[in-house]
Amino acid sequence: GAGVSQSPSNKVTEKGKDVELRCDPISGHTALYWYRQSLGQGLEFLIYFQGNSAPDKSGLPSDRFSAERTGGSVSTLTIQRTQQEDSAVYLCASSLGQIKQFFGPGTRLTVL
């Protein structure tokens, strides 16, 4: 597809379970970002990839959160031992290394 895609679109899980969220960036985009939007809040930066490296992980809220990117393309965000405060929309964006970022539709995560 032409745009950024994310899967699943919705995920409901029980507290304490692990979840994996997937992002397929626009082909050729070297930079990839993860953000999350909690209810009533703006988007909050989580992590930045340039190629397969993550030079900026400053936004990850705790060590329960991790992410990887393989082949300079697909990225997965993993949340271990989910908590209710992890409930949010998780958004992925990609860019060609310019400021302008293109966003996917997001994954809505609900932790019961």
Partner 1 sequence: DQQVKQNSPSLSVQEGRISILNCDYTNSMFDYFLWYKKYPAEGPTFLISISSIKDKNEDGRFTVFLNKSAKHLSLHIVPSQPGDSAVYFCAASERGGSEKLVFGKGTKLTVNP
User: By the criterion CB under 8 A, which residues form the site for partner 1?
Assistant: 4, 31, 33, 35, 40-45, 48, 50, 55-56, 59, 91, 93, 95, 99-106
Q: Of 6, 16, 19, whose CA–CA distance to 79 is shortest? A: 19
> Which is nearer to partner 1, 76 or 80 (by Cβ)?
76
Q: What is the DSSP string of 45-58?
A: EEEEEETTEEEE-T
> Which is nearer to partner 1, 79 or 104 (by Cβ)?
104
How far apart, in whole angstroms, are the C-alpha atoms of residue 28 and residue 43? Answer: 24
Structure tokens at 26: 């626009």
Work out how close the CB of 76 gets to partner 1 at its nearest, in angstroms, rounded to a whole number.
Answer: 18
- Pairing relation of β-strands 107-111 and 10-13? parallel
Work out how close the CB of 49 gets to partner 1 at its nearest, in angstroms, rounded to a whole number.
Answer: 9
Work out how close the CB of 110 gets to partner 1 at its nearest, in angstroms, rounded to a whole number.
Answer: 14
> Which is nearer to partner 1, 20 or 44 (by Cβ)?
44
